[in-house]
């Protein structure tokens, strides 16, 4: 891709487009998607060779160069030029410079950036999703061990924040674990919608090349390919499903944090917040402020806000590829995942 000739477009992107759209996207892709794009390229080229669509010698040269690019990690030795438009075109340009257009130009056979980006986003989210699942189960394990450590600790149960009946702290922990088990069930179910492969959908109408979508799906670790080429590039509903499940879990965790918050006050005195997760007053050194619990409670509200933002970005747009869904909606998907991890 020549920076002065982007298909029908003969002008470079405007400075405002570069500043507010292209540069932030390239920065995020370098941090999050550099290796993912290269992995997709490798799987696609392997499939093209296996299906006889490109020659083995061509595929070998492309894969060899791709391996060299991968070794550079997220700090490539070549220029990343925003005027080329995005990270993918920069990677492709370097490949073509190294192998020639007659070789490197064949990498993109039977593929569009649309299905590539849709695949990249699912793979990136998939890795983070698994990380969040592990962290969430670690929290559940910690609450289980906490309850088991004090089975005879009797405390007052509350309704309407008024003392009601005697319970044990272990009983309270067991109740919280029941709610978090349902939350994990909701989160776990998102995997079925997430781990589907869009590669092969093309820009939205697939391709006339006889590609093997099952093969690329297998190589990239997906359960199976998405069946409809329009759905391949249009669908981002899995993001809404994930954020919805995380929001419900965050709501439960916020209620848990509120209980801990109240119980840490001297009036209750049920627990003491550890110094490592507490703050101190600037003029009242006798105080220990449960600031982390305050932040955790607020983050549940943020999750709700991110769900509304992504939902609003996806509604009233065409059911096909567009930047509303592929870029703007995805922006707050990542913010939501980050916030839930912090929670």
Strands 196-197 vs 224-225: parallel, antiparallel or unpaired? parallel
Which pair of structure tokens corresponds to residue 68? 């060299």
Residue 202 φ/ψ region, left for φ over 0, alpha for ψ in the -120 to 50 degree band, beta for the rest: left
Q: Where are the domains of the chain?
A: 15-109, 114-342
| pLDDT tens digit sequence for 264-315 | 988 998 988 888 887 887 888 888 888 899 899 999 999 999 999 999 999 9
- Quick one: pLDDT at residue 177? 98
Q: Where are the alpha helices (DSSP H) in the chain?
A: 15-17, 23-32, 34-50, 56-71, 87-99, 101-104, 113-149, 169-194, 213-219, 229-234, 237-263, 291-314, 323, 329-342
Mean pLDDT, residues 87-105 taken together? 94
- Quick one: pLDDT at residue 84? 82
Q: What letter would DSSP give residue 107?
A: G
Q: What angle do CA 286, 168, 180 make, to 5 degrees?
A: 90
Mean pLDDT, residues 102-127 taken together? 96
Tell me if residue 154 falls in helix, strand or coil.
strand
Weakest mean pLDDT among 99-103, 187-191, 276-280: 276-280
| pTM of the predicted model as reported, rounded to 2 decimal places | 0.91
Weakest mean pLDDT among 56-60, 150-154, 184-188: 150-154
Q: In degrees rounded to 5, what are phi and psi of residue 314?
A: -90, -20
Place of tokens 């990677």: 91
| pLDDT tens digit sequence for 36-77 | 999 999 999 999 999 999 999 999 999 999 999 999 976 788
User: Binning pLDDT at 50, 70 and 90, where does residue 3 land?
Assistant: low
Mean pLDDT, residues 322-330 taken together? 90
pLDDT higher than 90, residue 20 = no
Q: Partners of 279 in the beta sheet?
A: 289
pLDDT higher than 90, residue 83 = no
User: Binning pLDDT at 50, 70 and 90, where does residue 23 land?
Assistant: confident
CB of 319 closer than 8 Å to CB of 230: yes
Q: How many other C-beta atoms can be found within 10 angstroms of the C-beta atom of residue 11?
A: 9
Percent of the chain with pLDDT over 70: 97
What interhelical angle do 34-50 and 113-149 show, nearest 10? Answer: 120
Q: How far apart are CA 279 and CA 10, in angstroms?
A: 57
Do domains 15-109 and 114-342 share one topology? The answer is no
- Quick one: pLDDT at residue 182? 97
CB of 169 closer than 8 Å to CB of 147: yes
CATH of 15-109, one of 1.10.150.170, 3.50.50.60, 1.10.275.10, 3.90.550.10: 1.10.275.10
CATH class assigned to 114-342: mainly alpha
């Amino acid at each position: 891709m020549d920076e002065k000739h982007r298909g029908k477009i003969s002008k470079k992107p405007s400075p405002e487009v570069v500043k507010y759209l292209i540069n932030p996207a390239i920065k995020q892709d370098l941090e999050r998607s550099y290796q993912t794009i290269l992995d997709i390229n490798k799987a696609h080229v392997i499939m093209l060779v296996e299906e006889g669509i490109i020659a083995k010698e061509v595929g070998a040269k492309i894969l060899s160069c791709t391996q060299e690019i991968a070794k550079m990690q997220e700090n490539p030795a070549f220029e990343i030029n925003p005027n080329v438009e995005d990270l993918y075109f920069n990677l492709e340009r370097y490949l073509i410079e190294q192998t020639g257009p007659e070789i490197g130009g064949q990498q993109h056979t039977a593929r569009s950036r649309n299905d590539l980006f849709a695949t990249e986003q699912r793979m990136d989210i998939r890795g983070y999703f698994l990380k969040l699942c592990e962290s969430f189960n670690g929290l559940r394990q910690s609450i289980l061990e906490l309850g088991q450590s004090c089975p005879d600790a009797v405390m007052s149960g509350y309704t309407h924040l008024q003392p009601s009946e005697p319970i044990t702290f272990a009983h309270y922990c067991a109740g919280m674990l029941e709610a978090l088990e349902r939350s994990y069930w909701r989160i776990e179910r998102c995997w079925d919608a997430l781990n589907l492969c869009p590669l092969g959908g093309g820009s939205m109408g697939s391709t006339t090349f006889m590609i093997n979508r099952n093969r690329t799906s297998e190589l990239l670790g997906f359960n199976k390919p998405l069946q409809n080429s329009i759905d391949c590039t249009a669908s981002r509903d899995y993001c809404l499903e994930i954020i919805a499940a995380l929001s419900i879990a965050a709501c439960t965790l916020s209620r848990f944090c509120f209980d801990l918050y109240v119980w840490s006050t001297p009036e209750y005195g049920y627990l003491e917040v550890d110094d490592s997760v507490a703050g101190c007053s600037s003029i009242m050194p006798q105080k220990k402020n449960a600031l982390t619990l305050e932040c955790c409670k607020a983050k549940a509200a943020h999750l709700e806000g991110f769900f509304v933002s992504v939902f609003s970005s996806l509604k009233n747009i065409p059911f096909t590829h567009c930047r509303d869904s592929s870029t703007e909606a995805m922006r707050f998907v990542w913010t939501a995942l980050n916030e839930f991890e912090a929670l």
